[in-house]
Amino acid sequence: MADKDKLFAGAIPELYERLMVPLLFEPYAVDLAERAARLKPLDVLEIAAGTGVVTRALAPRLDVEAQLVATDLNQPMLDVAHTKLGDDERIIWQQADAMALPLDDESFDVVLCQFGVMFFPDRVEAYREARRVLKPGGRFLFNVWDRIEANEVAHAILEALKARFPENPPSFMRRVPHGYGDPEIIRADLEAAGFHDIILETLEKTNGPVSASDAAMAICQGTPVRSEIEERDASALAAVSQAVAEALAKRFGNGMIERRIRAHVVEAVR
């Protein structure tokens, strides 16, 4: 994975929060928060918290005595998350790399991660880190996108980008967010890291209603796809976003788009 695939900075965090979160992330954030809250944890670690969609969903469900450490590799994402949620004395915001967590062994009842494990350069090692900071019997909860063909808007955008750059199409969406959707590989990686009692559920939902232009801008400008486009033509970001929007409208119509999204939700025990 290239470093640019993990870079969420500049204009991306604000666009990500405004467009990507309602487009794709909110339904699964609520689901993951509910799963975590049912475990009644007092010490929670969130990895790859992004702009805080899971943090916001989980905080009201936690005990008043609980503590949540919300981390992300990219400080600009955490800055947006903190601003959106406001101050909560139970929440600690901390920039951290999931590959080398600056946290003590056996500190947390639950570690959770929403759509972040796909970005780990060595997933088994990152899972070992998550296991290291979990208390005995603690739970690791995360979700990961299924293959891109099972996620209709993302797949349509990928096809539109291929049409725009036929010789060298942007590949981030297939390589990274939708590049780790095989349940057997996920299970094997967790077992290699020492986890057991692994439960994997495939969960299909519908993306938040969005216009073709907002969906195109979300992916083309609010993710590292932006860097891929700019590498190919530094002046083409607006034009490519418009072309993708037109392709989405042609495929799904001119109204609000609500299509299938599908992900795997995973729970494993330390």
- Model-level pTM? 0.93
* SS3 at position 158: helix
List the chain pLDDT tens, one digit each, 270 residues: 555 555 676 878 899 899 999 999 999 999 999 999 999 999 999 999 999 999 999 999 999 999 999 999 999 999 999 999 999 999 999 999 999 999 999 999 999 999 999 999 999 999 999 999 999 999 999 999 999 999 999 999 999 999 999 999 999 999 999 999 999 999 999 999 999 999 999 999 999 999 999 999 999 999 999 999 999 999 999 999 999 999 999 999 999 999 999 999 999 999
How much is the pLDDT for 11?
Answer: 76
Q: Output the CA–CA distances (angstroms, integers) from residue 173 to 67, 87, 126, in the order listed.
A: 34, 34, 21
pLDDT at 3: 58
- Per DSSP, the residues of 164-233 read HSSSS---HHHHTTTS---HHHHHHHHHHTT-EEEEEEEEEEEPPPB-HHHHHHHHHHSSTHHHHHHHH-
Model pLDDT, residue 49? 97
Residue 13, pLDDT score: 87
Q: Which residues pair with 134 in a beta bridge?
A: 108
13 φ/ψ angles, rounded to the nearest 5 degrees: -55, -45
Tokens of 229: 């486009």
